[in-house]
Amino acid sequence: MEERPVTNSTLSASLLKDRLSKLSVTPLRPVAALQARVDFVPASIPRVRRLQTVVVALWTSIIPICFSFTLFLLSYPPLWPFVIIYMIWIHIDSAPERGGRVSPWFRSFRFWKFFAEYYPASYKKECDLPADRPYVFGYHPHGIISMGAMCNFGSDSTSFSSGFPGVRPHLLTLTSNFTIPFYREILLFLGVCSVSKRSCERILRKGKGSAITIVVGGAAESLSAHPGTADLTLRRRLGFIKLAIREGADLVPVFSFGENDIYEQMPNEKGTTLYKIQKKFQNVFGFTLPLFHGRGILNYNWGLLPYRRRIIAVIGRPVHVKKMNSPTVEQIREVQEAYIAELMRIWNTYKDEFARTRRRELSIID
């Protein structure tokens, strides 16, 4: 048998392999193997799903889009007078405190239908809500960005108006959001208003069927938004209870199954350095900065878009309250206990149907 000659390249390859084995080093993977870490979207995705993804991408980036558009206008000097007038208008316009400039047509625009169908998001109605009184909807949990609240209450994408005729919901958000040019106009057309006390009172006093939706947990609860969990910040949130009693508005608990599942958040348990930094940031700026990720436009496992995971908001039975101008702490606590009991009933009734992958049970952590 002819013996194969030993070349320099053979020696080099043999020597490299021997050294790698001794050092227990794994050779570099081919490019194809590295790309396998990212789950790319196939080219055969239906057109409607692509539209849904584009719509969600536009909405999740709407604030930087509005800022960029403002800077573009400022780059063209002939438009400066109009921009200056608009900026002055932003500071004197009281629409966020007066119920917005809601447009039923804009709330039911097809754009929002695509937005809700992406997850998909929907609601489950447990009982009728007669439009003969005002309502305060308490939305739980906050999640990272409260996408389910936007679908069900911030727009008519899930046909809330058909399910609850005569009830006019106003989703509430931070007053600071109404200082962002153009973004504020979109919110106002959707009926989204300021969460200030003055705004809440004005809306509820507009008459029968007026309603507000408060994401009760707020910024603090977003830090607890991890998939498979339902850790609520609620025990010390008495302001919306007192508001409902003073205005004679029925309290309606809403639990949104899946709200915490659409994003993955970095581990930030209490006591960790990350948690302390986030709490300090919240104390200074009034809002939190959760570190999270979702999917991308062209892949399924890395980016800032929410995952396509079902969101179902169960709208529970109203807790009737007796109108009182100056309720005592005991009376407020009594109504709160009834509210929490109804919220727990919703969880226990539907958790096996809508939260099968839960890691633990609902808990009120604060």
Specify the DSSP class assigned to residue 295.
B
Domain membership of residue 28 (yes or no) is no
**Do β-strands 210-215 and 168-173 pair in parallel, antiparallel, or remain unpaired?**
parallel
Alpha-carbon distance of 213 to 240, in angstroms, equals 10
pTM of the shown model: 0.87
Which H or E run includes 252? strand 250-257
Cis peptide, bond prior to residue 253, ω within 30 of zero: no
Helix intervals (H) in 248-328: 273-285
Structural domain including 185 reads: 47-364
Alpha-carbon distance of 208 to 252, in angstroms, equals 15
Cis peptide, bond prior to residue 141, ω within 30 of zero: yes
Q: List the CATH number of the domain containing 167.
A: 3.40.1130
Domain membership of residue 190 (yes or no) is yes
In this structure, how many other beta carbons lie within 10 angstroms of the beta carbon of residue 273? 8
Specify the DSSP class assigned to residue 76.
S
Domain membership of residue 22 (yes or no) is no
pLDDT tens sequence for the chain (366 residues): 333 333 343 334 444 344 434 433 333 333 333 345 888 889 899 999 999 999 999 999 999 999 999 999 999 999 999 999 999 999 999 999 999 999 999 999 999 999 999 999 999 999 999 999 999 999 999 999 999 999 999 999 999 999 999 999 999 999 999 999 999 999 999 999 999 999 999 999 998 999 999 999 988 898 889 999 999 999 999 999 999 999 999 999 999 999 999 999 988 888 788 888 887 887 777 777 788 889 999 999 889 999 999 999 999 999 999 999 999 999 999 999 999 999 999 999 999 999 999 999 999 988
**Angle (CA) 52 54 57, round 5°:** 110
Q: Which residues contact 277 (CB under 8 A, 6 or more apart)?
A: none
Domain membership of residue 1 (yes or no) is no
Total domains, the chain: 1
* CB 230 within 8 Å of CB 260: yes
Taking each helix axis from N to C terminus, what angle separates 62-74 and 80-92, rounded to the nearest 10 degrees?
130
Domain membership of residue 335 (yes or no) is yes
Domain membership of residue 64 (yes or no) is yes
Domain membership of residue 174 (yes or no) is yes
Domain membership of residue 34 (yes or no) is no
